[in-house]
Amino acid sequence: MTTAPPTPPDTDAAAFVAALRRLKAWSGLSYRRLERRAADAGHTLPYSTAATMLGRERLPRAELVAAFVAACGVRGAEAEAWLDARSRIACGAADAGRAAVDAGGSVGLAAVDAGSPAWRPAVVTPPARSEPMEAVPLRRPRPLRWAPVAAAVILTALLGGALASGDLTDDEEIRQSRTAYDVTEAR
């Protein structure tokens, strides 16, 4: 790492993530090593989260950027520059969204006046549909969990009753004596 690390762009989220990829390449570290170095610096950065962060085009959270930059070996003012660039991109996207909403566009960001917090969730009404909505098939109801237990109880009761009445017994002596008695009676 004799050359200077890449500098963060202020343009958009995709360019920022591309610069983070260049920073990882500059560090020469694997995702597992980045995870360990972030832990050594007092941050939490699972290797899967770092890989996912670099595989997307969305702006990562500030704490992930701080952990990633620290793990790559960037410290001090250079690390602050990465966080400042991330904040400028995030605020710039919010400003662009506000401008589009003020101009009558439907972006999905709430129009924010100067006195309200910028993190307020947006209330967006869906556009009117010209075609009818298609029917959503109904899901089958979940089978009852107690049904197998009830079936087992009923089956046990029926078998118990049959055994008690002697219908299912296989006692050969009783049959022979009844048959012999019935034969002698019939004569």
- pLDDT of amino acid 128: 62
Q: Does the structure show a pLDDT above 90 at 60?
A: yes
How large is the average pLDDT for residues 77-99? 82
Report CA Rg, the chain.
37
- Residue range(s) occupied by CATH 1.10.260 in the chain: 13-102
Look up the CATH number of domain 13-102. Answer: 1.10.260
Q: From CA 52, how far away is CA 44, in angstroms rounded? A: 15
Helix axes 62-72, 31-40, angle to 10 degrees: 100
Residue 113 banded pLDDT, cuts 50, 70, 90 = very low
Asked if the model's pLDDT at residue 88 lies above 90, the reply is yes
Arithmetic mean of pLDDT, 88-93: 86
Tell me, yes or no, if the pTM score tops 0.85: no
Across 78-87, average pLDDT: 94
pLDDT single digits (tens) 7-48: 999 889 999 999 999 999 999 999 999 999 999 999 999 999
Q: With residue 150 as reference, give the H or E element that holds it.
A: helix 147-165
Among 106, 105, 55, 63, residue whose Cα is nearest residue 83: 63
Q: Which residue has the higher pLDDT, 11 or 97?
A: 11
Confidence of residue 148 (pLDDT cuts 50, 70, 90): confident
- Mean pLDDT, the chain, as a whole number? 77
Burial track 4-23 (b if 16+ CB lie within 10 A, e otherwise): ebbebeeeebeebbebbeeb
How far apart CA 53 and CA 72 sit, in angstroms, is 14
Q: What's the confidence (pLDDT) of residue 110?
A: 44
pLDDT of residue 160: 82
Token output for 151: 């079936």
pLDDT at 178: 55
Q: Please report the pLDDT score of residue 170 as a whole number.
A: 62
